């Protein structure tokens, strides 16, 4: 069976949950959309800014960065924590598809869902302001998307620790302040901070929103950083998964 | 040290008259290639507070013969570890499982872990079944799902599992273990929380799957349940196999019959000669006999002294009797690795 069939299966699972808990799904969607659009309009009204103002673009970028960072990180670690809580992780570990691949499929679906919400938010903002939709440069969105897998790798590492230690949800939450730091670090132009996950992509995006032009080297650096952290994250996750199987903690309550 | 009892592989195919009475007779089985053929030399230890505890020691089991195998053993004897190793959730310290290549064989194994509902309780049995069936790379067969739901008497397989009672949750989990028609079923404590009708449904389902050629390994403390469904028994103690053979052979090692009586007086001088080898606890006497001829001889002699008895009962030794006997005898493990 190919990955596409598994992706369809995972999408089906999401749809089952969304349909059965439709009120929760709709309210979650409205909450994200409403808070973003509401905040944006509140800032616009308070500062008498137009939708094309640079400060507003900074706010939008902040939202985009946080959404991708949070989604990429939590799509693996939260999934594992949730499966452990539901005691259904073992079922995933007994399938022919390796667990890290199932998590990768789920992460892609999460990121795709986030992108959909983002595009919908932009559409709603543009519709409310009756403005043409030019909120973010595609290059900015592109570099943020390209940087997201680095945090996916980081999420894999935390998910791996959860596999062995089981009840470590506080560890998962403790990482969030670190995520904020990664988004805020001045990693552009290229410096030591650029080696950290997501930092260079976030910095470069801020630079581009401020009027700078991104070069091919920026994309290469972000892609290499993403690939490196993702591979490292998967390797660490697999190591912890082997350790969990060796210790026999799988199947524990 | 107790001898490890085993029977040759040729003898394991059939357990004589017992198999003939069972719905999954060898002739009825269209043998399927099992996901796991055999395991050999498997050892596993855990560390608890710096102390090494052997969960399994030098375990070798052949799964190529069809039927239902019961795994017996006291708490901590290694039953759950054995099932977790076979399901791939736990890796052994040493030993081999054939054929190699865990992910491929997981496609064809159905597992129930420690009588628990390892499913997404926010979804219905149907939604879980569809998801997990595809996850195991098998086509979801809705008529088969409905057939299983009927067999397990799941009244509403379309309502969220979290709304079901404990017993029905377990039935849902059992359905998920069977839904992809695995060639090997590993069921750990499948009767935990099931009512009498649930146990009967499960027995029928296991028998029908075994009849279709699936290998079923059941770890349970429910000896009556195992006695009804198993053709083969593996008995574990302190991580070692102390018996591996047919259920009939297990019951009739050394003794086949149990004669119980309650004497009017516990005075040893009043005990008839034929009861001299019995085990006495107060007025109560228990005598174990090896063969049918021994029983006939005993009955002929005992009939003259029935006046001294308040109660008298002859029964075939059950798995429970045999198991208790083994435990009481301290199933001494063989030397570990």
User: pLDDT tens digits, residue range A145-192?
Assistant: 999 999 999 999 999 999 998 777 777 778 888 899 999 999 988 899
Distance from CA of B67 to the nearest CA of A (A): 23
At B256, list the tokens: 């086949």
Domain of residue A56: give its range: 3-247
Scan for tokens 């979801």, then name that residue. B140
**Residue A142 φ/ψ, nearest 5 degrees:** -65, -45
pLDDT in tens, A200-228: 999 999 898 888 888 999 999 999 999 99
Q: B114 touching A, CB under 8 A?
A: yes
User: What's the Cα-to-Cα distance from A32 to each of A69, A71, A120, B184, rounded to whole Å?
Assistant: 15, 13, 11, 46
Q: A242 touching B, CB under 8 A?
A: yes
Domain assignment present for A253: no
Per-residue pLDDT of chain B (337 residues; tens, 9 = 90+): 334 443 333 333 333 333 333 333 333 345 678 888 899 999 999 888 888 889 999 999 998 887 899 999 888 889 989 999 999 899 999 999 988 776 667 788 999 987 666 788 999 999 999 999 999 999 999 999 999 999 999 988 999 999 999 889 999 999 999 999 999 999 999 998 899 999 999 999 999 999 988 999 999 888 889 989 999 999 998 899 988 988 888 876 667 788 999 988 767 777 888 888 888 888 888 888 888 888 898 898 888 888 888 888 998 877 777 777 776 665 443 333 2
Indicate the pairing of strand B109-112 with strand B184-188: parallel
Residues of A195-208 as b/e, b for ≥16 C-beta within 10 angstroms? ebbbbbbbbbbbbb
8 Å CB contact of B88 and A5: no
Q: B127 touching A, CB under 8 A?
A: yes
Domain count, chain A: 1
Q: B192 touching A, CB under 8 A?
A: no
> pTM of the prediction?
0.81
Query: Which of B312, B253, B249 has the alpha carbon at shortest distance from B18?
Result: B249
Which residue(s) pair with A22 in the sheet? Answer: none
- The model's confidence at residue A29, banded by pLDDT at 50, 70 and 90, is confident
The whole-number pLDDT of residue A165 equals 87
The whole-number pLDDT of residue B329 equals 61
- Select the residue of A8, A9, A94 nearest B109 (Cβ to Cβ): A94
8 Å CB contact of B103 and A98: yes
The whole-number pLDDT of residue B310 equals 86
Q: A13 touching B, CB under 8 A?
A: yes
What number is the ipTM of this complex? 0.87
Q: In chain B, whose CA is at the least distance from the CA of A242? A: B91
Q: Are B90 and B84 spatial neighbours (Cβ–Cβ below 8 Å)?
A: yes
Domain B5-251: CATH superfamily is: P-loop containing nucleotide triphosphate hydrolases (3.40.50.300)
Give me the count of residues in chain B.
337
Give me the half-sphere count of Cα atoms (radius 13 Å) on the Cβ side of residue B181. Answer: 14
The whole-number pLDDT of residue A253 equals 54
Domain assignment present for A252: no
Q: B106 touching A, CB under 8 A?
A: yes
CA distance A125 to A85: 38
Distance from CA of A54 to the nearest CA of B (A): 45
Predicted confidence (pLDDT) at residue A194 exceeds the cutoff of 50: yes
The whole-number pLDDT of residue A50 equals 66
8 Å CB contact of A1 and B137: yes
At A208, list the tokens: 């581009």
Is the preceding peptide bond at B99 cis, omega within 30 degrees of 0?
yes
Domain assignment present for A170: yes
- The model's confidence at residue A25, banded by pLDDT at 50, 70 and 90, is confident
Residues in chain A with CB shorter than 8 Å from the CB of B130 are: 12
Domain assignment present for A195: yes
């Amino acid at each position: 069976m190919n990955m596409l069939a598994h992706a369809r299966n995972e999408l089906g699972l999401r749809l089952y949950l969304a349909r059965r808990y439709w009120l929760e799904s709709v309210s979650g969607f409205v909450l994200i959309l409403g808070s973003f659009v509401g905040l944006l309009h509140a800032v616009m009204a308070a500062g008498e800014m137009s939708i094309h103002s640079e400060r507003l673009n900074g706010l939008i970028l902040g939202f985009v960065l946080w959404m991708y960072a949070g989604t990429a990180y939590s799509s693996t670690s939260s999934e594992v924590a949730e499966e452990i809580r539901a005691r259904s992780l073992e079922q995933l570990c007994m399938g022919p598809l390796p667990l890290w691949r199932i998590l990768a499929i789920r992460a892609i679906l999460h990121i795709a869902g986030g992108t959909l919400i983002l595009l919908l938010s932009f559409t709603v903002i543009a519709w409310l302001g009756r403005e043409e939709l030019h909120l973010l440069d595609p290059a900015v969105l592109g570099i943020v998307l390209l940087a997201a897998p680095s945090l996916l790798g980081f999420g894999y590492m935390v998910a791996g620790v959860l596999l062995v230690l089981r009840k470590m949800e506080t560890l998962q939450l403790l990482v969030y302040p670190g995520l904020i730091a990664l988004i805020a670090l001045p990693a552009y132009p290229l410096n030591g901070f650029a080696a950290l996950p997501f930092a260079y992509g976030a910095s470069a995006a801020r630079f581009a929103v401020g009027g700078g032009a991104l070069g091919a080297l920026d994309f290469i650096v972000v892609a290499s950083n993403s690939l490196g952290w993702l591979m490292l994250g998967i390797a660490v996750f697999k190591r912890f998964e082997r350790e969990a199987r060796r210790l026999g903690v799988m199947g524990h309550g | 040290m107790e001898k490890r009892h085993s029977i040759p592989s040729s003898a394991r195919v059939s357990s004589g008259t017992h198999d003939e009475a069972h719905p999954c007779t060898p002739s009825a089985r269209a043998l399927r290639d099992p996901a796991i053929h055999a395991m050999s030399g498997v050892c596993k230890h855990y560390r608890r507070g710096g102390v090494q505890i052997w969960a399994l020691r030098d375990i070798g089991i052949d799964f190529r013969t069809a039927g239902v195998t019961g795994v017996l053993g006291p708490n901590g004897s290694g039953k759950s570890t054995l099932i977790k190793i076979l399901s791939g959730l736990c890796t052994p310290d040493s030993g081999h499982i054939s054929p190699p290549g865990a992910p491929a064989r997981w496609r064809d194994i159905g597992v129930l872990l420690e009588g628990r509902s390892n499913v997404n309780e926010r979804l219905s049995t149907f939604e879980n079944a569809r998801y997990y069936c595809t996850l195991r790379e098998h086509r979801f067969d809705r008529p088969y799902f409905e057939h299983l739901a009927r067999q397990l008497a799941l009244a509403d397989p379309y309502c969220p599992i979290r709304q079901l009672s404990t017993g029905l949750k377990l039935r849902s989990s059992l359905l998920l273990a069977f839904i992809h028609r695995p060639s090997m079923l590993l069921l750990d404590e499948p009767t935990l929380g099931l009512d009498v009708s649930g146990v009967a449904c499960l027995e029928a389902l296991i028998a029908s799957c075994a009849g279709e050629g699936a290998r079923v390994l059941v770890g349970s403390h429910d000896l009556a349940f195992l006695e009804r469904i198993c053709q083969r028994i593996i008995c574990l103690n302190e991580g070692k196999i102390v018996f591996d053979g047919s259920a009939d052979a297990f019951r009739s090692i050394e003794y086949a019959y149990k004669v119980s009586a309650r004497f009017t007086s516990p005075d040893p001088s009043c005990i008839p000669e034929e009861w001299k080898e019995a085990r006495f606890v107060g007025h109560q006497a228990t005598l174990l006999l090896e063969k049918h001829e021994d029983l006939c001889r005993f009955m002929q002699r005992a009939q003259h002294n029935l006046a001294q008895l308040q109660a008298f009962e002859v029964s075939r030794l059950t798995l429970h009797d045999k198991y208790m006997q083994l435990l009481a005898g301290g199933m001494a493990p063989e030397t570990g690795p």
